[in-house]
Each structure stands twice: as structure tokens, then as C-alpha cells.
Amino acid sequence: MRAINLEDDPHRRFNPLKGEWVLVSPHRNKRPWMGREEKPIVSNKPAHDPGCYLCPGNARTSGAVNPLYRGPYVFDNDFPALLTDTPLDRAGDERLFISETVRGTARVICFSERHDLTLPELSRASIRKVVDLWADQLAELGQTYGWVALFENKGEMMGCSQPHPHGQIWATNYLPNEIAREDDHQKAYHDKHGTILLVDYANSESARGERTIVENDDWIAVVPYWATWPFETLVMPKRHVLRLTDLTDGERNGCADILKRLTCRYDNLFQTEFPYSMGWHGAPTMKGSFDHWQLHAHFYPPLMRSATVRKFMVGFEMLAESQRDMTAESAAERLRSLSDIHYKEAAK
Ligand code: H2U
Ligand code: ZN
């Protein structure tokens, strides 16, 4: 029997962070595909839009008026999914009808005063300010809440409702599903091996290089071995870091650098404002021992073949398990081969 070739033969890969498998079918990439030719997407948004709820000086839907802010700006979400004062008694625990009450809060973070500049189009110095504000928000909300979700939904395809570049912050008094799973698996790995799962992973990927997209002294961005979305990436510090608040000055600059270079490549891939959901995962802020954690960011972009052709997680994926055609290595190679210079910048 011949040896399995991961570039050609159907196989499964294991995600040690979630404890689940993904089916990889690289042979299907040989199917004929009529590539669609699309023009680069250059939006002509103004630097300030009088009709935007998030621009400086404008009124939001609630009637509250944004200050004339410069740089990143945080405000309380006018329609928060969680409330700060929900009564904390247990709501129901019949055998099959289990519920619990929750407390939390939600905020919106405008990345800068500029209506027309998405994250990759901001300078490293401006992105650094976003990194600092994320860390400050984590420090503040982490005093009250056990989990602080820092994330961005980018693009209409991902359900983003406001054109002004922004992210969201949701703080909860419980660990959401994804976090609880990552907590379990990082803890089990630490108990078994005595080392940190994603520190081991970041350093082995750095040594191998085949799934690396961009890397600097302190950070690495890879298409993870177990990626499910075509161009999914994982961004990690190489040193053991629990939370954004623990990053040194140099590591914060490095973080801005890696985010800039990764998101520019994303935009350059299909010459579009590349949609995704991204978010930071670090050690929870609730009481307990979380030293087995490693800070990281996930990027989950839906696009597959062009600025408009996306992957759907349906059928087998909904009902059985995630599946991909293009290998993580091919996706990484495509992203790695692109320029750090944003296509809009290059066209000037
Ligand atoms: P998206 O990231 O999905 O675009 O969400 C933007 C958030 O901004 C959304 O949660 C909030 C919405 O509640 N928002 C306000 O708080 N005030 C506004 O005036 C507009 C939008
Ligand atoms: Zn705006």
C-alpha cells in the first residue's frame, strides 16, 4: 500500500484547540473551475459621512451624539444583547429545559475617525492605538466580567450593519461555548504535556514555515493545520502571553504590524475589502487558574474563489463535520505570495 499524500488524498485533520476534526479533500481541487474575472473593488466612501451613525460629531440612533473623536473611540452599544442588571436567580433546570440568567454589557469600538479607512488601510501607529484600546477595555471590563469578547464583523457578507470601520466588545459573566471548549482543551494539553498548546504550535509552525503567512520577532500568522474556512488564519505571539493586557510595548507594535500585513494580504487576494469575523481569545478574566491559556486571534473569512464567491458551511458540514478542498498549505502559500502593500495604496 502506498503512503498517504496529504496534498492529494482525502484525509481528516484534528483541531486540538476545539477537539474536533475537519475533512480535507484536496483531490477535488482538480475539478474544472470557470474563474470569474472581477475588477478591483475601490469604494469611494467619504472621510466623513454626515449620514453615518458612527462618524465623529454625528447623532446615533439613540439620539446620543458622538464627540469629535480622533483615533479609536468606544461607546456603549445602543442595542446591547446583554444587560448589566438582569436578576441572577437560576431560571430553569428541569431535565430537558435548562436555562440560566446572564449579565453582561456591549460596546462598539470605532477604529478611527475615518469613515473610509478599514483596518488594513490604517497606519501601524493607528492600529497600535486600537490594540491599546482593546487592552484597556479588557482591563476595565475584566474587573466585572469573566469573559470579554473583542471582535470585528467586517463586510455586509458577514452581517456587518454599519459602514464605518468598527469592532464590538461584549462582556459576559460566563464563558461562552467556544471559550469553554478552548479552555478545556488547552488545560488538558497542559496537564498532559506540561507545556502550552499554542506556544508549542506557534513555534513549530515558525520552524516549518509551510503554513506561515507573515511573521515578525514576536508574532506569527498562519493558516492553521486544521483550518475549516478556506482562508482562515490564527495569529499568535511566540512568547507565552495570557492576555492582551500582558503585551509589552514592543509586542503591541509587533501586533499592529502583523495585523496590518495580514489584513493587507487579505484585501489584496481578491482586490476587495475582504470580509471576515475576527476576534481575540485570551485567558478569561474570571477567578481561577488560566495559566494554560495562550493569547491568539482567529480570522474566519467566508470568501473562497473571488470577491463574491463564498464558501457555505452547509450540508455535510452542518450535519456531519467541516470540510475543505484547498489544503491549508495551499491557502497559506497564496496569502504569503501577496504584497504587504494594500492594493488601493499601490494603485495611487
Ligand atoms: P455590526 O458590527 O454588526 O455592524 O454592529 C454594529 C453595532 O453598532 C450593532 O451592535 C450598534 C448596533 O447595535 N449601533 C449602535 O449602538 N448605535 C447606532 O447608532 C448604530 C449601531
Ligand atoms: Zn462614519
Q: What is the 58 CA–ligand 1 centroid distance (Å)?
A: 14
**C-alpha cell at position 154:** 467586517
Instruction: Tell whether ligand 1 has an atom less than 6 A from the beta carbon of residue 312.
Output: no
Burial of 130 (0-12, 13-18, 19+ CB in 10 A): buried
Over residues 204-222, the mean pLDDT reads: 98
Cβ pair 329, 306 in contact under 8 A? no
Pairing status of strand 147-154 against strand 276-281: antiparallel
Q: Give 31's contacts (C-beta < 8 A, 6+ positions apart).
A: none
Is 296 considered catalytic here?
A: no
Q: pLDDT tens across 102-129, in order?
A: 999 999 999 999 999 999 999 999 999 9
Ligand 1 test: best mutation among 52, 55, 61, most atoms within 8 Å of CB? Answer: 61
Nine-digit cell string for 272: 476587495
The answer, yes or no, to whether any atom of ligand 1 lies below 6 A from the CB of 203, is no
pTM for the model stands at: 0.96
Q: pLDDT digits over 163-172, tens only? A: 999 999 999 9
Ligand 1 neighbourhood includes 76 CB (under 6 angstroms): no
Say yes or no to pLDDT of 34 above 80: no
- Which residues lie near ion ligand 2 (Cβ < 5 Å)? 49, 52, 54-55, 115, 164
Cα-to-centroid distance, 106 and ligand 2 (Å) = 19
pLDDT of residue 69 exceeding 60: yes
Is residue 74 over pLDDT 80? yes
Q: Report pLDDT digits (tens) over 181-211.
A: 999 999 999 999 999 999 999 999 999 999 9
- Residue 31: the pLDDT is 62
Which atom from ligand 1 is nearest to the alpha carbon of 64? 19
- Is 60's C-beta closer than 6 angstroms to any atom of ligand 1? yes
pLDDT at 39: 74
From residue 219, alpha-carbon distances to 210, 216, 334 in Å are: 16, 5, 20
Strands (E), the chain: 11-15, 20-24, 73-76, 92-94, 97-99, 104-110, 147-154, 166-172, 212-215, 219-222, 233-237, 276-281, 296-300, 323-324
Average pLDDT, the chain: 95
Q: In angstroms, rounded to a whole number, what is the distance separating the alpha carbons of residues 278 and 324?
A: 20
Q: Looking at residue 38, what is its pLDDT?
A: 67
pLDDT cut 70: percent of the chain above it: 97
Residues 6+ apart with CB under 8 A from 325: 24, 25, 26, 28, 29
Amino acid identity at 136: D
Cα–Cα distance for residue pair 151/170, rounded to 1 Å? 9
DSSP-derived secondary structure letter, 113: S
- Please determine, for residue 311, whether its predicted confidence score (pLDDT) is greater than 90: yes
Asked whether 110 and 73 are in contact (CB, 8 A), the reply is yes
Q: Is the pLDDT of residue 284 over 70?
A: yes
Residue 89 has pLDDT above 80, yes or no: no
Instruction: Give me the pLDDT at residue 30, please.
Output: 67
Residue 180: pLDDT over 70: yes
> What confidence tier does 35 reach under pLDDT thresholds 50, 70, 90?
low
Ligand 1 atom closest to 75 (CA): 16
Is the predicted pLDDT of residue 303 greater than 90, yes or no? yes
